[in-house]
Amino acid sequence: MRYKKYMVTLPSILDNDFYKFTMQQCVVKLFPKAKARYRFINRGRHRFPPGFAAALRASVETMAGLKLSSGEKRWLCQVCPYFDPVYLDFLQGYRYDPSEVRIEQEGEEVHVFIEGYWYRTILWEVPLLCLISENFYALQNGQRESDETVVAKTKQKIEGYAKMGVTVAEFGTRRRHSFHVHDLVVKTLKAHGSPFVGTSNVHLARVHQTKPIGTHAHEWFMFHAAKYGFKMANTMALEHWIDVYRGDLGIALSDTFTTDEFFEIFDKKFARLFDGVRHDSGDPLVFADKTINHYKSLGIDPLSKTIIFSDSLNYDRVQTIAEHCNGRIGISFGIGTNFTNDVGLKPMNIVIKMTEAMPESEAWTPVVKLSDEPMKHTGDEASIALAKAALQIN
């Protein structure tokens, strides 16, 4: 299948991951004067074709016209009762400001930077990654598999998960091949799979009448480290989440400053209030054992809690994890690129991460992520060393 060069655009302001909106409501409520900086990280060292920056800029400029429709607002009111009317009114008035995004190209390298008030810039990450990915494939004129093949492969996967007896969600917005493929995948999952429980993409959840899924991302904890210090970051991030959502959206992300550090503060209060935790880096089997043992140490039945696994999953990895956890703790799986960019081309490995935060009336402060997988650490060397020293991490 051959592609012509065309303008890559997004269909809706809701074409974004759910956790961006859930975090945005918190930022609007708690940190309205905070600012943030982000940058694009090309983990896969992909080589960008000539003219890529111009094509991406053109796509970004079109985003200024996106706005929440009345129908979308009514739908959010119905399916997300924890979004209060003030936030939904704010979201209806929100417009992307392309001046918050800087795009540069030097040969085959592309650099993307975002800066502005956090309550505004928080929505840029996922759509920008979508546009980078789709523009990359469109400009290369790559030949992907047919729609029929994409549907057949997706159907085969969801039927396999059904036989395995696990539930799965689609988490592939950021590195999808294209919106068309993404839409096709979610449509197929909804039509053919009882194990399918929802998607992280809010627009596609609405279109295909399924559940939007997500809570918070690493940047939530990274900002709290800039505001309150590394030792208090996890605690304050969870406390603030509870303050806003009062028991809803109860899956906690554990690996911003390593899982071991997280479990030091994940006491009985948090462990009972949160429905479970999400795994996003490191050995999933080791993580499962640590989580199960931690709940047991607090006198909590692990089977009353859930681990959401979401790190680079495919069928074989899911099967291995499911066999390891069966009968020991509740599990579910968020599958991303293997759903939305399994089209016969090399998937992109790209991320956008917060690099600095400016809490209210304070200076710009570098932020870091200390993943359970060292290759996923983000931040400058000095800041990473400072975080490790503060948290006594080797």
Top-level class of domain 147-340: alpha beta
Mean pLDDT, residues 28-46: 97
For residue 4, the model assigns a pLDDT of 45
Average pLDDT, the chain: 96
Mean pLDDT, residues 11-39: 98
> What single letter denotes the amino acid at residue 317?
R
Which of 78-87, 187-196, 219-228, 314-323 is the least confident region?
187-196
Top-level class of domain 18-143+348-368: alpha beta
For residue 38, the model assigns a pLDDT of 98
pLDDT digits (tens, 9 = 90+) for 81-97: 999 999 999 999 999 99
* Structure-block tokens of residue 182: 């993404």
Confidence of residue 244 (pLDDT cuts 50, 70, 90): very high
Confidence of residue 3 (pLDDT cuts 50, 70, 90): very low
Mean pLDDT, residues 150-178: 97
DSSP codes, 133-183: HHHHHHHHT--PPPHHHHHHHHHHHHHHHHHHT--EEE--STT-S-HHHHH
For residue 5, the model assigns a pLDDT of 57
Give the residue extent of every domain in the chain.
Answer: 18-143+348-368, 147-340
Q: Could you give the 3-state DSSP secondary structure of residue 354? A: strand
> Quick check: do 18-143+348-368 and 147-340 share a fold?
yes
Q: How far apart are CA 270 and CA 242, in angstroms?
A: 9
- Decide if pLDDT at 109 tops 80: yes
pLDDT digits (tens, 9 = 90+) for 203-213: 999 999 999 99
Share of the chain above pLDDT 90, in %: 95
- Decide if pLDDT at 39 tops 60: yes
